[in-house]
Chain A
């Protein structure tokens, strides 16, 4: 799906360059990080049982290894841009996304965000096999944070997009994995999010469905949604992002226009 999405975004890029569908200049910040730090405390030996913890605590042998996944990170992302995050494994990319998605809180500093975030979650996480497609739409929608009224309003659109048709009242265990994945994508993106987070390769169904996903993501962008893209691939970021940040060991090495950041990353990273 990522490939499909890239293509979609590239198309959008071309169109913008040719003057068609001109975007308003990004102005207002929708994400702002001020001197953010995230500290992980990891026990030296992985203690997973209460008994072990009690014994060690008595012997005063619970020691921690502290390290900063992010340290002193400040950045802004503006409305409507495609913002890339590059860096090696363990540079803090995922932690950055989790902060923005409000999944984690910073140990220090401030994270500010305006608008609703749609994470492309592992499609189908939160589904229940015994429930029907219909019931799962309501359950999964509520998990993502839609109200019942919103789901009702979007229901037909979700069913149509997922192409469930007559299978809408069949328990999920009897549906193909492709159908489940389509349903997941359809629910996650039913209401256009203000900020879309894409951080891993997703494969949704067949080629034709990938095309549908692509055009949906493209339409988010046309409608002014902000897209955050995390990638190992420098080429990808260079080709579709407006701006990018390069993270190294939890610190910002560079933040600038995507092409320049990627160039630095490739030369020095």
Chain B
């Protein structure tokens, strides 16, 4: 009994390329089921053998908070009200960025052995990393909410800005992930080098400490750190209960759009060569 595919016969013509940038977007839409499968694989396999399963995504930040609050507010003696909310909000955003960029690289390397044999739109891997990171971020937000309430902070109206901040940081992160995964195909040591960059980058921004412990004369240096704008627009509505400064929002938006465009452009231009190298 023949059971042919019902989709219309696909025509592939190597000379039919209009704008590679948009072709890849169209292909991603066509492969949306694959995106969904890969993201759900990541979520399922992460906690596959554990009893609590996905609940760990929420428990983990809570546990981390208890340790950090004890360690920092008592050992370091940083006098900052509601220190744990301050740290956790910064940490969640940072973890989202570092995990997503790292997994963009490892997803592409994992897919490498498939790229020799079957056609897959290569952008799938970076977008999968982003989707997984977003789900994890959203699942840990309830933990942040609990810590807020425990510290006597009730969310105020500006909290509705948080999704916008997440959208902007996602665009920036995807752009970085695309650039890094392009590099890692050609140079395997990109991954290791990026770990060192991440480690120092982490301490070069006000996540574990408030900006005012830095002497005034050095503070301008922080303006060169793109992450600091995303930290500000994400943390201000949560920690201070205020709308983020318009200037920071504007810079963050400009960074998000330009890095994503650059990443997408570089990635799609080089993607055809991946099969030769991976």
Chain A CB within 8 A of B188 CB: yes
Inter-subunit contact A191/B118 (CB<8 Å)? no
Q: Is the CB–CB distance between B276 and A114 below 8 Å? A: no
Does residue A260 face the partner (Cβ distance < 8 Å to B)? no
Q: Is A3 an interface residue (CB 8 A)?
A: no
**Which one of B9-17, B134-142, B158-166 is at the A interface?**
B9-17
Within 8 A of A (CB), among B14-59: 14-15, 31, 33-34, 36-38, 41, 44-45, 48-49
Residues of chain B with a CB closer than 8 A to A122's CB: 113, 117
A49 in complex: contacting residue of B4, B41, B49, B189, CB < 8 Å:
B189
Q: How far is the CA of A214 from the CA of B234 in the complex (A)?
A: 59
| CB-nearest residue of chain A to B35 | A142
Question: Considering only CB atoms, which chain B residue lies closest to A140 in the complex?
Answer: B37
Is B152 positioned at the interface, with any CB of A under 8 Å from its CB?
no
Cβ-based interface call for B92 (8 A): no
Query: Which of B6, B13, B119, B193 contacts A101 (CB under 8 A)?
Result: B119
**Is A192 part of the binding interface, using a Cβ–Cβ cutoff of 8 Å?**
yes
Q: Is A144 an interface residue (CB 8 A)?
A: yes
Taking the closest CB of chain A, its distance from the CB of B194, in whole angstroms, is 10
Query: Quick check: which of A81-89, A105-113, A238-246, A251-259 contacts chain B, the rest being far away?
Result: A105-113
Partner pick for B119 among A125, A145, A219, CB 8 A cutoff = A145
B187 touches A112 (CB 8 A): no
Contact indicator A53/B13 (Cβ below 8 Å): no
Segment touching B, from A18-26, A70-78, A147-155, A162-170: A147-155
B residues near A135, Cβ cutoff 8 Å: 41, 44
Contact B34 A142 (CB under 8 A): yes
A219 contacts which of B2, B5, B9, B113 (Cβ < 8 Å)?
Answer: B2
Bound-state Cα–Cα, A139 to B128, Å: 13
Q: Is the CB of B188 within 8 A of A48?
A: yes
CA–CA, A117 to B117, complex, Å? 11
* Stretch of A9-17, A126-134, A204-212 lying at the B interface: A126-134
Q: Does any Cβ of B come within 8 Å of A178's Cβ?
A: no
Q: Are B41 and A50 in contact, with the CB atoms below 8 A?
A: no
Q: How far is the CB of B252 from chain A (nearest CB, A)?
A: 29
Task: Give bound CA distance, A99 to B119, whole Å.
Answer: 10
Q: Which residues of A contact B113 (CB under 8 A)?
A: 122, 125
Interface residues of B in 90-127 (CB under 8 A from A): 113-120
B36, B44, B117: which has the most chain A beta carbons within 10 Å?
A: B117
B183 touches A114 (CB 8 A): no
Q: Are B275 and A192 in contact (CB under 8 A)?
A: no
Interface check A58, CB cutoff 8 A: no
Contact B187 A143 (CB under 8 A): no
Partner of B189, one of A51, A131, A192: A51
Please, how many angstroms separate the alpha-carbon atoms of A110 and B17 in the complex?
A: 11
Cα distance A50–B33 in the bound complex, in angstroms? 35
Contact (Cβ within 8 A) B3 A192: yes
Query: Which of chain B's residues 219-239 have a Cβ closer than 8 Å to chain A?
Result: none
The count of residues in chain A whose C-beta lies closer than 8 Å to any C-beta of chain B is 51
State which of A106, A110, A111, A115 has its C-beta within 8 Å of the C-beta of B9: A115
* B189 to chain A: closest residue by CB: A49
Q: Are A50 and B117 in contact (CB under 8 A)?
A: no
* Chain B residues, CB < 8 A from A110: 13-15
Tell me if B216 is interfacial: C-beta within 8 Å of chain A.
no
Contacts of B9 in A (CB 8 A): 114-116, 194
Q: From the candidates A102, A117, A131, A192, name the one contacting B44 in the complex (CB within 8 A).
A: A131
Q: Hey, which chain B residues are within 8 Å of A130, CB to CB?
A: 44-45, 48-49
Q: Is A138 on the interface with B (CB-CB < 8 A)?
A: yes
User: Please, which residues of chain A bring their CB within 8 A of the CB of B10?
Assistant: 114-116
**Nearest opposing residue in chain A for B119, CB measure:** A102
User: Does chain A have a CB within 8 A of B217?
Assistant: no
Shortest 10 CB-CB distances between A and B: which pairs? A50-B187, A142-B34, A102-B119, A142-B37, A111-B14, A191-B5, A110-B15, A49-B189, A121-B117, A113-B12
Q: List 28 A-B contacts (CB under 8 A).
A: A49-B188, A49-B189, A50-B187, A98-B275, A101-B117, A102-B14, A103-B117, A104-B276, A109-B14, A111-B13, A114-B9, A114-B10, A115-B10, A121-B114, A121-B117, A122-B113, A131-B41, A131-B45, A139-B38, A142-B33, A142-B36, A143-B114, A145-B119, A147-B7, A150-B7, A154-B3, A223-B2, A223-B4
What residues of chain A have their CB less than 8 Å away from a CB belonging to chain B? Answer: 40, 48-51, 53, 98-99, 101-106, 109-117, 119, 121-122, 125-126, 128, 130-131, 135, 138-139, 142-148, 150, 154, 157, 171, 191-194, 219, 223
Residue ranges of B at the interface with A (Cβ–Cβ < 8 Å): 2-7, 9-15, 31, 33-34, 36-38, 41, 44-45, 48-49, 113-120, 183, 187-190, 193, 272, 275-276
